[in-house]
Amino acid sequence: MNQNDGVIAYVRSGIVASAKEPDCSEGNCLVLNIEESCVVICSYRPTGFPNPANYLNSLARILKNTPQNTIILTGDININILPGNVSVSGASYISLMVYYGLVQGIDKPTRLESCIDHFMVKTKTAAVDVEPYWPDLCAKALEGVNVRDLITNIGSGVGAVPAVGGAPTAASAVAPAAELAKEEKKEEEPEESDDDMGFGLFD
């Protein structure tokens, strides 16, 4: 280490916090316990150590001894994790984060063309965007169809229900039982196609 490295953290007045400095090989680490509900791990890893294996082992031990559900790991780690430009060491670091449930908060360059300043988060609360792709398709496919009649026909076991495709009407989607019975008498039932099995639903 040299005289220019280290970690310092400021805590707003009124927030109850305790701090400890665990052993961290080839790096600095300060662990803040915020009101017994959140742990903030502040860390700095100097660039003078080309192989971060010892640092990662220390970090793994620190995370293992941090039982809280909400954890924030942040600092100048000097390990590039920019997508598309991740080294073997970077992959090991990311694997460690994933193992302990931490999600990457920064995936953009933080210095030149590298992401070496990190913000990792583990929390029970997460915002997830879900594209309404399949519900919209299902709604469009069933437009104009009497779903109750469709379910009743399927449950009765009378005849085969043609697949729903495009923008069907109730009449085209569910054939009357009597008409289906006549068709069965006239000719043998043809071999099932992909459409009959429902694969043409979203054509």
User: Residue 174: pLDDT band by 50, 70, 90 thresholds?
Assistant: very low
Report how far apart, in Å, the C-alpha atoms of 97 and of each of 5, 7, 48, 53, 71 are.
24, 20, 23, 14, 11
Tokens 């913000």 map to which residue? 119
| CA-based nearest residue to 7, from 108, 19, 17 | 19
Strands (DSSP E) contained in 35-82 are: 38-44, 71-76
* Strands 28-34 vs 17-20: parallel, antiparallel or unpaired: antiparallel
Mean pLDDT of 32-44: 94
Residues 6 or more apart whose Cβ sits within 8 Å of residue 5: 28, 44, 46
This prediction has a pTM of 0.59
C-alpha 140, offset from chain centre: 28
pLDDT of residue 50: 84
CB 173 within 8 A of CB 150: yes
If one looks up domain 17-122 in CATH, what number appears? Answer: 3.60.10.10
Which of 93-102, 141-150, 177-186 has the least mean pLDDT? Answer: 177-186
Domain ranges of the chain: 17-122, 133-186
Question: Reduced to 3 states, what is the DSSP secondary structure of residue 33?
Answer: strand
Exposure b/e, 158-187, CB count within 10 A at least 16 = b: bbbebbbeeebeeeebbbeeeebeeeeeee
C-alpha 167, offset from chain centre: 34
Which of 85-89, 116-120, 153-157 has the least mean pLDDT? Answer: 153-157
User: Residue 128: pLDDT band by 50, 70, 90 thresholds?
Assistant: low
